[in-house]
Chains A and B, each alone.
Chain A
Amino acid sequence: MAHLERLAPPDSNLHPDIDMVSELGLDSVKVMDLMLDAEDEFDISVPLNILADIRTPNQLAQAINKLLESQ
């Protein structure tokens, strides 16, 4: 979430189920850059092909957990 706060417009009401694209107005490039930071924090690589299905911070967290478990 901290990474998201940096990218989201100021005064956004961030919550785990917010749609990062349609509600926060992040474009796909910003979402990919958000991913680079999250990847460093958790020492994983999130493939772009699964990114298409991720719309909310909650879904991102689930995807990251799944990748961590599969390691």
Chain B
Amino acid sequence: MMSLFDKFQSLSDARHALIQAEPSPIGTRIDEVLSPTEGRVDGRSVILAGTNNYLGLTFDPDCIAAAHDALDQEGTGTTGSRMANGSYVSHTRLEEELARFFARPSAVVFSTGYMANLGLIGTLAGADDVIVLDADCHASIYDACRLTGADIIRFRHNDPRDLEKRLRRLGERTANALIVVEGIYSMLGDQAPLREIVAVKRRHGGYLLVDEAHSLGVLGAHGRGLAEAEGVEADVDFVVGTFSKSLGAIGGFAASHHPQLDMIRYASRPYIFTASPSPATIASVRTALHIVHSRDELRQRLWANAERLYHGLARLGFELGPEPGPVVATLLGSPQQGVAFWHGLLERGVYVNLVLPPATPGGRALTLMRISVSAAHDTAQIDRIIAAFAALKPMLDHHGHE
């Protein structure tokens, strides 16, 4: 009989083949964080370019002051569920502010973005329902689907025609189908063709959920995400997002124009059976949300940096994701090459994310250097990132990258 731990052997072998020593690209220890864009890793000063800190708000003085006040006034934690003792005035205020921000009647706060997907999708769909999701959706969406017992159907990534085909095959069941896409996909940084997806939904019916985790604060005139940027918010039934990227903290939310959303507070296990976010977290998120819709210049700086980095790397001949954005992904030839490249960047003072299959999308066994851009990067830092990539480019050419 197999031991309980035998299943870890292949993971352990794979890890050992790639990583024998610290610093490790997997679970890198960040020794010091000095600012949204600077830190120390393995004794070196590095530019932090793998943080999802898109607006650079983690050290915003107003967010920090709000968190300090909440810590002093309300303590370190709520020590309880939203359903029991974990709903403070600040949690409900944040929900009202999120609802107002998205111009929808209701919003619900969860303890993480992952749990927002588990809590919403996992509760909305039941055993007789069907979920039609983009193949490149985040693991939290796949995990949520598994909780439902619903029929789970994937459509080809960013392919509205494939979505249409699958809705057509569903026949009458389409009326209740939950279609799930993301605003910006986390690995390659590409955006969903949302207007075309909305057109398919209008023809066939169903409900549309857009996970704006990477597009909140990043896209749209007010930072409401891809649905705002594409002018299709009225056709989006549910918005899901996270506080751990542009808002610089941790937590998640769901918002909807369906008033029934509020009932998930009584039905969603990931909402009920976990402690609510700490008062300091909620306070910094409320301030960050205000900044998102009042300081448009942050978005402009983020996009200027994203364009500069993307086009700089493209000019050097790197193979990149399909379009510029807060996530700029460079495709490498193999996991081994990825590890070597990651170390090379670190030696040159640049920290990014190494992403290895199967976390990379689409069964193409991609290895990615995933850079996340911040409004807090200055032009000199973006240029140093580009220079570090340029210095390492020969590594790819010599190994016959395909």
Q: Which residues of A contact B (CB under 8 A)?
A: 27-30, 32-33, 36, 43-45, 47-49
Per-residue A-contact encoding for B147-177, CB less than 8 Å = 1, 0 else? 0011111101000000001100110000000
Contact B152 A47 (CB under 8 A): yes
CB proximity of A40 to chain B, nearest CB, Å: 8
Q: What sequence of 0s and 1s flags, for each residue 352-373 of chain B, a beta carbon within 8 Å of any chain A beta carbon?
A: 0000011000110000000000
- A interface SS class: helix
Expressed in whole angstroms, the minimum distance between the Cβ of B355 and any Cβ of chain A is 14
CB within 8 Å: A-B pair count = 36
Q: How far is B380's CA from A43's CA once the two chains are assembled, in angstroms? A: 53
Given contacts A44-B169, A45-B169, A49-B151, A29 and B156 within 8 Å (CB-CB)? no
CA gap between A32 and B157 in the complex, in Å = 13
| Sample of 4 further A-B pairs with CB below 8 A, known A32-B135, A33-B362, A45-B153 | A29-B357, A29-B358, A29-B362, A48-B145
The CA-CA distance from A24 to B151 in the complex, in Å, is 27
Who on chain B is nearest to A49 by CB?
B152
Cα(A20)–Cα(B274), bound, Å: 39
A30 and chain B: residue at smallest CB distance: B363
Q: In the bound complex, what is the Cα–Cα distance between A43 and B170 (angstroms)?
A: 11
Q: Which B residues are closer than 8 A to A by beta carbons?
A: 130, 135, 145-146, 149-154, 156, 165-166, 169-170, 357-358, 362-363
Roughly how many angstroms separate A49 CA and B144 CA in the complex, as a whole number? 12
Across chains A and B, which 3 residue pairs bring their CB atoms closest together, nearest first?
A: A47-B151, A48-B152, A29-B363
* With A48-B152, A49-B152 as contacts: A43 and B363 at CB distance below 8 Å: no
Closest A residue, CB atoms, query B169: A45
> Of B145, B170, B358, B362, which contacts A45 at CB under 8 A?
B170
Chain A residue with the shortest CB-CB distance to B166: A45
For B363, the chain A residues whose CB sits under 8 A away are 29-30, 32-33
Bound-complex Cα distance A44 to B169 (A): 6
Known contacts A27-B358, A29-B358, A48-B145; is-contact A43 B153 (Cβ 8 Å): no
Known contacts A29-B363, A32-B363, A33-B363; decide if A47 and B153 are in contact (CB<8 Å).
Answer: yes
Interchain nearest-CB distance for B174 vs A (Å): 11
Chain B residues with CB under 8 Å of A27's CB are 358
Chain B residues with CB under 8 Å of A45's CB are: 153, 166, 169-170
6 contacts between A and B (CB under 8 A): A28-B358, A32-B135, A44-B169, A47-B130, A47-B152, A49-B151
Checking B146, B150, B156, B169 against A43 with a beta-carbon cut-off of 8 angstroms, the contacting residue is B169
Q: Please, how many angstroms separate the alpha-carbon atoms of A45 and B155 in the complex?
A: 9
Q: A9 vs B150: C-alpha distance in the bound complex, in angstroms?
A: 33
Nearest-neighbour CB distance to chain A for B126, whole angstroms, equals: 13
The chain B residue with its CB closest to the CB of A26 is: B363
| Max chain A C-beta neighbours (<10 A), residue from B170, B362, B363 | B363
Residue in B146, B154, B165 with the greatest tally of chain A CB atoms within 10 Å: B154
Instruction: List A contacts of B149 (CB < 8 A).
Output: 49
